[in-house]
């Protein structure tokens, strides 16, 4: 391949990978298999190594390619990161303006108003236009170096755009807020619940959790965003106003919040504040206030700081999304896998514009920890679309008449005994025929992430079960239009439609079918891995714990859940019924009979015949996978010239070691 052809291919691959990144990470809806994706990535890596084209900094290979870290290193901010003083009312905002006018000894100056994103502050360093490092705020002087996670933020430029009217300085320090959109948080929380993890209480916690992952691949699956709002040290450049700073940041390609506005007096700012308060509910991200900043940078400098807060800025907070109400009762909800979740029933109250009458209490430990009793006055909190929760009890309102809550010893729906297994926070109803569980299971089966059966929502599933038309998901496929018509609310047309969507759902992608079964610890991601590795439902059903744990990312807990699920007599019957009904899942990837299929490789030392990236691409093309460290799951360690400690580790673990020649033979080169 000549250079021009290689560059053309590189550009094409980058575009293709960016497209698939978006499908996988942002939309959770990949179009190609993981191995196909890895193949594209390896091909690009190999080409970039051979034909450097000067645009590598913004290549997808730089965004999600990094290996997991053992721990974060600390990062000293080139200039300290300050925080903001808060203003909680109109009066405090007006006082601020009066104070500035007095200190500045002028009346005629402008402000900049900006939404205050509720995420976490980061500091970024660019050298010669390239993103070098980025860190969390930490104590304002030193933060944690989270560079590789920041790179996964697709809207963050890794290369400053230098085609604008402002030359790019050698050294640039800029600040901004990393945040997660509410929709992304809800999606992430649904996935976490599926996989048995606690949901995040608000977008800020979720963003902080994502940014503090040691493995950037995990960060990449939790889509983050960023808005930049300030600069730190930029030697040799003098800006005159904050407004100018924002314009230049934008021309350099940085995302700047489109709602920022220059305001010429405090009354206009108060209008802006009120407008943002209204707009807040319809924004895709959470804001907890508006920041008011003096625009003129010389004036900012003159005003200086008070302790760690600049005198020239004020964080004007919206009234809290917390409210006080009375807890009337605690009821129990039974989930898909039988977990009993206590839910608070409260006197309806308005929290940030939404009427709330229920809040999750999570589990019995949480109730004990917060000492929540029936009849208590409680403070509740709501963040975005997140389920409201009880923050704490107002102890001063206790009358002594409140009642302590006891978790039931029997399932409130089916009456069976409940158990709390060691190490678990929830009590569970272990009766597999519990109507609550069955209904939840059918709902899950038909859900969008599962079989995606149109017209089969929560209500219809429950109605079908209550009418004794179905007892498990497989029964759905034996429903007839006539049977449906016997139910109220079912007209000819909707019955016809439901039967049609059931027919249409009979050949689902294998991963969706596995997910739909509702196996414990098996969310959408794990279902994809299982589908890819086993290729058919029969093979998965026959898999042993050893077969399963041999797969990368499948640990003993998931393996045990899968084996347990298929060994359950009741589930065996359900699987038989699926087969009788003609429900045949389709393998998402082509059959694998390559000798490298499912084998995992680790390379150490350099190969004579090809660069490591090419060897990696070959292995992956043939269905194998390449990892950076040797574990007991590694099939082969390929040792080239001057191998490192990975070789010793392989020896100590008794893993097959291949020399370069043997490797080449294996891959038929």
426 binds ligand IVH (CB under 6 A): no
Which part of the chain contacts ligand IVH (CB under 6 A), choosing from 31-39, 95-103, 310-318, 374-382? Answer: 310-318
**Which residue in 12, 15, 101, 116 is the catalytic one?**
116
Contacts with ligand IVH by CB under 6 A: the residue count is 15
Closer residue to ligand IVH (CB): 6 or 259? 259
Q: Report in angstroms how near the CB of residue 177 gets to ligand IVH at its nearest.
A: 5
- Among the listed residues 113, 230, 332, 334, the single contact to ligand IVH using CB under 6 A: 230
**Integer angstrom CA distances of residue 88 from 276, 318, 322, 412:** 15, 7, 14, 45
Known active-site residue 616 = no
Collect all residues with Cβ–Cβ distance below 8 Å to 71 and sequence separation of at least 6: 214
- Among the listed residues 10, 13, 47, 84, the single contact to ligand IVH using CB under 6 A: 84
Closer residue to ligand IVH (CB): 313 or 618? 313
Which structure tokens are listed for 610?
């090809």
- Among the listed residues 22, 62, 83, 128, the single contact to ligand IVH using CB under 6 A: 83
121 binds ligand IVH (CB under 6 A): yes
- Among the listed residues 87, 253, 310, 623, the single contact to ligand IVH using CB under 6 A: 310
Q: Report in angstroms how near the CB of residue 232 gets to ligand IVH at its nearest.
A: 10
Compute the C-alpha angle 295/76/205, nearest 5°: 75
- Among the listed residues 144, 145, 173, 177, the single contact to ligand IVH using CB under 6 A: 177
Helices (H), 122-264: 147-150, 182-194, 203-211, 216-220, 242-251
* Cα separation, 658 vs 77, whole angstroms: 46
250 binds ligand IVH (CB under 6 A): no
Closer residue to ligand IVH (CB): 104 or 374? 104
- Three-class HEC string of 162-192: CCCCCCCCCEEEEEEEEECCHHHHHHHHHHH
- Give the 3-state secondary structure of residue 403: strand
Which part of the chain contacts ligand IVH (CB under 6 A), choosing from 45-53, 308-316, 368-376, 395-403? Answer: 308-316
- Among the listed residues 315, 413, 519, 529, the single contact to ligand IVH using CB under 6 A: 315
Which part of the chain contacts ligand IVH (CB under 6 A), choosing from 82-90, 105-113, 439-447, 506-514? Answer: 82-90
Collect all residues with Cβ–Cβ distance below 8 Å to 35 and sequence separation of at least 6: 532, 589, 620, 623, 625
Closer residue to ligand IVH (CB): 117 or 451? 117
Under a CB-based contact definition with an 8 Å cutoff, are residues 525 and 191 in contact? yes
311 binds ligand IVH (CB under 6 A): no
- Among the listed residues 20, 116, 204, 428, the single contact to ligand IVH using CB under 6 A: 116
* Cα separation, 437 vs 442, whole angstroms: 9
DSSP 104-123: HT-S---EEEEEEESSEEEE
Closer residue to ligand IVH (CB): 117 or 263? 117
* Cα separation, 595 vs 616, whole angstroms: 15
* Cα separation, 268 vs 288, whole angstroms: 19
Helices (H), 26-146: 34-50, 90-104
Which structure tokens are listed for 652?
């100590």
Q: Report in angstroms how near the CB of residue 235 gets to ligand IVH at its nearest.
A: 19
Q: Report in angstroms how near the CB of residue 159 gets to ligand IVH at its nearest.
A: 24
* Cα separation, 74 vs 123, whole angstroms: 13
Q: Pick the closest to residue 378 from 362, 397, 353, 360 (CA basis).
A: 397
**Integer angstrom CA distances of residue 50 from 6, 43, 47, 227, 616:** 9, 11, 5, 35, 15
- Give the 3-state secondary structure of residue 396: helix
- Among the listed residues 38, 43, 48, 114, the single contact to ligand IVH using CB under 6 A: 114
Closer residue to ligand IVH (CB): 117 or 210? 117
Under a CB-based contact definition with an 8 Å cutoff, are residues 416 and 434 in contact? yes
Q: Are strands 354-360 and 309-310 parallel, antiparallel or unpaired?
A: unpaired
Closer residue to ligand IVH (CB): 67 or 279? 279
Which part of the chain contacts ligand IVH (CB under 6 A), choosing from 77-85, 318-326, 493-501, 538-546? Answer: 77-85
Closer residue to ligand IVH (CB): 114 or 472? 114
Binding characters for ligand IVH, 353-382, by CB under 6 A (x = yes): ------------------------------
Q: Pick the closest to residue 394 from 339, 442, 448, 346 (CA basis).
A: 346
* Cα separation, 477 vs 448, whole angstroms: 17
Q: What Rg, from alpha-carbon coordinates, does the chain have?
A: 29
Under a CB-based contact definition with an 8 Å cutoff, are residues 348 and 357 in contact? yes
**Integer angstrom CA distances of residue 604 from 61, 615, 648:** 21, 12, 10
Closer residue to ligand IVH (CB): 272 or 513? 272
Closer residue to ligand IVH (CB): 117 or 639? 117
49 phi/psi in degrees, rounded to 5: -70, -40
Looking only at residues 430 through 459 of this chain, which bind ligand IVH when binding is defined by CB under 6 A? none
- Among the listed residues 313, 413, 559, 637, the single contact to ligand IVH using CB under 6 A: 313
291 binds ligand IVH (CB under 6 A): yes
117 binds ligand IVH (CB under 6 A): yes
Compute the C-alpha angle 139/143/147, nearest 5°: 155
Q: Report in angstroms how near the CB of residue 202 gets to ligand IVH at its nearest.
A: 14
Closer residue to ligand IVH (CB): 10 or 226? 226
Which part of the chain contacts ligand IVH (CB under 6 A), choosing from 69-77, 81-89, 104-112, 489-497? Answer: 81-89
Looking only at residues 210 through 229 of this chain, which bind ligand IVH when binding is defined by CB under 6 A? 229
337 binds ligand IVH (CB under 6 A): no
Give the residue numbers marked as catalytic: 116
Residues that bind ligand IVH (CB under 6 A): 82-84, 114, 116-117, 121, 137, 177, 229-230, 291, 310, 313, 315
């Amino acid at each position: 391949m000549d250079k021009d052809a290689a560059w053309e291919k590189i550009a094409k691959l980058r575009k293709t990978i960016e497209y698939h990144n978006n499908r996988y990470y942002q939309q959770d809806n990949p179009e190609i298999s993981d191995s196909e994706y890895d193949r594209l990535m390896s091909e690009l890596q190999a080409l970039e190594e051979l034909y450097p084209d000067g645009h590598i900094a913004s290549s997808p290979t730089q965004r999600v390619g990094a290996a997991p870290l053992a721990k974060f290193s600390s990062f000293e901010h080139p200039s300290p990161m300050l925080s903001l003083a808060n203003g909680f009312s109109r009066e405090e905002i007006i006082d601020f303006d009066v104070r500035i006018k007095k200190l500045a000894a002028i009346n005629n100056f402008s402000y900049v108003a900006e939404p205050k994103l509720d995420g976490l502050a980061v500091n970024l360093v660019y050298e010669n236009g390239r993103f070098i490092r980025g860190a969390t705020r930490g104590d304002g002087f030193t933060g944690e170096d989270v560079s590789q996670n920041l790179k996964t933020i697709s809207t963050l430029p890794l290369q400053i755009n230098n085609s604008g009217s402002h030359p790019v300085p050698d050294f640039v320090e800029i600040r901004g807020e990393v945040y997660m959109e509410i929709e992304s948080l809800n999606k992430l929380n649904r996935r976490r619940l599926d996989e048995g993890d606690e949901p995040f209480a608000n977008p800020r916690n979720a963003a902080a959790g994502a940014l503090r992952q040691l493995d950037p691949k995990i960060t990449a699956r939790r889509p983050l965003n960023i808005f930049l709002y300030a600069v730190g040290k930029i030697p040799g450049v003098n800006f005159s106003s904050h407004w100018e700073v924002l314009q230049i940041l934008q021309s350099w390609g940085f995302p700047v919040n489109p709602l920022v506005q220059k305001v010429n007096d405090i009354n206009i700012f108060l209008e802006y504040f009120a407008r943002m308060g209204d707009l807040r509910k319809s924004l895709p991200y959470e804001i907890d206030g508006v920041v008011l900043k003096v625009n003129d940078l010389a004036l900012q400098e003159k005003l200086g700081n008070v302790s760690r807060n600049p005198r020239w800025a004020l964080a004007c907070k919206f009234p809290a999304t917390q409210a006080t109400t009375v807890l009337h009762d605690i009821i129990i909800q039974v989930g898909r896998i039988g977990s009993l979740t206590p839910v608070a029933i409260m006197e309806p109250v308005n929290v940030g514009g939404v009427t709330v009458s229920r809040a999750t209490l999570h589990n019995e430990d949480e109730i004990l920890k917060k000492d929540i009793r029936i009849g208590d006055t409680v403070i509740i909190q709501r963040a975005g679309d997140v389920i409201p929760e009880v923050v704490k009890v107002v102890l001063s309102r206790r009358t002594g008449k409140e009642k302590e809550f006891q978790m039931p010893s029997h399932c409130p729906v089916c009456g069976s005994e409940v158990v709390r297994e060691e190490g678990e926070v929830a009590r569970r109803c272990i009766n597999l025929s519990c109507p609550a569980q069955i209904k939840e299971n059918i709902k899950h089966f038909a859900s969008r992430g599962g079989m995606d059966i149109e017209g089969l929502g929560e209500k219809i599933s429950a109605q079908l079960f209550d009418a004794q038309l179905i007892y498990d998901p497989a029964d759905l496929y034996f429903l007839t239009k006539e049977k449906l018509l016997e139910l109220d609310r079912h007209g000819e047309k909707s019955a016809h439609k439901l039967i049609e969507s059931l027919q249409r759902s009979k050949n689902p992608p294998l991963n969706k079918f596995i997910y739909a079964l509702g196996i414990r610890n098996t969310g959408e991601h794990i279902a994809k891995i299982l589908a890819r590795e086993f290729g058919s439902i029969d093979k998965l059903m026959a898999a042993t714990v050893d077969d399963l744990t041999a797969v990368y990312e499948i640990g003993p807990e998931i393996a045990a859940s899968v084996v347990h699920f298929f060994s359950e007599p009741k589930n065996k019957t359900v699987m038989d019924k699926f087969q009788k009904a003609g429900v045949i899942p389709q393998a998402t990837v082509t059959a694998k009979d390559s000798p490298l299929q499912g084998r995992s490789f680790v390379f150490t030392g350099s190969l004579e015949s090809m660069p490591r990236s090419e060897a990696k691409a070959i292995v992956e093309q043939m269905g194998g996978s390449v990892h950076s460290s040797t574990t007991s799951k590694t099939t082969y360690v390929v040792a080239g010239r001057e191998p490192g400690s990975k070789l010793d580790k392989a020896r100590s673990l008794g893993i097959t070691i291949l020399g370069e020649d043997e490797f080449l033979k294996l891959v038929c080169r």
